């Protein structure tokens, strides 16, 4: 990564908190994944996304362009007291498996 330049895909993007940090370090976003319509709207208002892949629901992702880094955080509710600590019994807990599959397909340098 010369000149601190790298590419990334923003998984579970929310409204773009991780993106702000990565762009501040010289990163270029190639795509983002989010399912909440209000978060997607805010994300698109906050960032220029016209030339980026809108992945949508990671459980249905068909494309995974190569990026140096996949970033994001799987929703934590299923692992917390607030989510009754259901883990993999909660559909959100199974998103780890989809994230692992997406990572295998994308083959980034880092996740």
Q: Exactly one of 76, 85, 97, 100 is catalytic; which is it?
A: 76
Residue 16 pLDDT greater than 60, yes or no: yes
Residue 27 pLDDT greater than 80, yes or no: yes
Overall average pLDDT of the 25-45 stretch: 96
Q: pLDDT at position 47, please?
A: 97
Residue 1 pLDDT greater than 50, yes or no: no
Residue 69: which residues within 8 A CB-CB, separation 6 or more?
Answer: 6, 7, 8, 9, 22, 27, 108, 109, 110, 111
Answering whether pTM is above 0.85, one says: no
Active-site annotation holds for 22: no
Q: Which long-range contacts (CB under 8 A, 24 or more apart) does 28-33 make?
A: 30/65, 30/67, 31/55, 31/65, 31/67, 33/9, 33/57, 33/58, 33/61, 33/72
Q: What is the pLDDT of residues 41-86, one digit of tens each?
A: 999 999 999 999 999 998 898 778 899 999 988 777 777 777 677 7
Residue 2 pLDDT greater than 50, yes or no: no
The kind and range of the H/E element at 6 are: strand 6-10
DSSP 79: G
Q: pLDDT at position 41, please?
A: 97
Could you tell me which of 31, 25, 72 has the C-alpha nearest to residue 50?
A: 31
């Amino acid at each position: 990564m010369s000149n601190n330049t790298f590419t990334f895909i923003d998984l579970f993007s929310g409204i773009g908190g991780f993106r702000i940090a990565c762009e501040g370090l010289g990163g270029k976003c190639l795509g983002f994944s989010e399912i909440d319509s209000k978060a997607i709207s805010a994300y698109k208002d906050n960032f220029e996304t016209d030339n980026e892949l809108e992945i949508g629901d990671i459980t249905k992702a068909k494309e995974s362009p190569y990026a140096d880094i996949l970033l994001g955080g799987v929703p934590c509710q299923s692992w917390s007291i607030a989510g009754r600590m259901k883990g993999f019994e909660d559909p959100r807990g199974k998103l780890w498996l989809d994230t692992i599959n997406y990572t295998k397909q994308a083959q980034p340098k880092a996740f």
